[in-house]
Amino acid sequence: MLRDVFGVEPPPGEWRSEVWPDYPAPIIRRAGESDAVESVLASFSMVPKRTIPPGTRYFPTANARIETIGKLRSFAPHWRACQFALIPATAFFEPNWETGKAIRWKIGRPGDEPFAIAGLWRAWPDGAVSFTMPTLNADSHPLMNRFHKPGDEKRGVVVLPRNTWGDWLACADPDEARSFLRLLPAEALVAEPAPVPPRMPKAPPAQDDLAGI
């Protein structure tokens, strides 16, 4: 799928079909200063748990609010450096509380069409790469406002239209990059219940899950 849809070779290594925070997943980014792109295996969370010293308060970084992405030190240097990525996916998951308890729902494109979520990446001194997903307020979105606990702010990831993939990766201005960060209309998405199978561990309730290609 990475070859057929995104035109890149899969990165070395292994990853699962469903990716949770701190799991590895392929992302697509610019290859150095050239216009070429490449796929690399990266950890899903801008600051992976393995990098956090014992006893340090843990702040989840799988998601990055666009309101503070240019201010918080976990994200700001990489946002200003325009280290943008495409996160290949066939679905992402959110908790739906409409029954009174959290039921995982699967959200994707009609016909299970592969798509790209907007991402931000960083490199580590040991050569490892990690990434996060910018999120927007979704209180007024007809679909995305159905997820997360009652009373909590509703948030949504950015599914990029296919004709913007190259421009997002090539963007060199963080202010201009904000123009790409929009929620896809509800009618362009499909959603259905997809409870976590009993054999799989449950993801942290406040985090989005990502089903990668």
- For the segment 171-191, the average pLDDT, to the nearest whole number, is 97
pLDDT digits (tens, 9 = 90+) for 90-147: 999 999 999 999 999 999 999 999 999 999 999 999 999 999 999 999 999 999 999 9
Beta bridge partners of 191: 107
Report the C-alpha gap between 54 and 40 in whole angstroms: 28
pLDDT of residue 205 exceeding 50:
no
Domain boundaries along the sequence of the chain: 2-212
Task: Report whether 39 contacts 11 (CB < 8 A).
Answer: yes
For range 30-43, the mean pLDDT? 90
199 — pLDDT class (breaks 50, 70, 90): low
Annotate 32-88 with DSSP letters as a single string: TTSS-EEEEEEEESSS-GGGSPTTPPP---SEEETTTTTTSTTTHHHHHTT-EEEEE
How far is 49 from 43, CA to CA, in rounded Å? 10
Rounded distance, CA 55 to CA 52, Å?
Answer: 8
What DSSP string runs through 142-164?
A: TTGGGBSSTTSPPEEE-EE-GGG
In this prediction, residue 204 carries a pLDDT of 52
pLDDT of res. 201: 54
- Identity of the residue numbered 89: A
For residue 212, name the pLDDT band (cuts at 50, 70, 90): low
Is the predicted pLDDT of residue 210 greater than 70, yes or no? no
196 band by pLDDT with thresholds 50, 70 and 90: confident
Question: What is the pTM (predicted TM-score) of this model?
Answer: 0.91
Nearest to 60 by CA among 141, 132, 152, 147: 132
Per residue in 45-84, pLDDT tens? Answer: 999 998 988 888 878 999 999 999 999 999 999 999 999 9
For domain 2-212, the CATH architecture is: Alpha-Beta Complex (3.90)
Torsion angle defined by CA atoms of residues 158, 85, 163 and 145, in that order, rounded to the nearest 10 degrees: 0
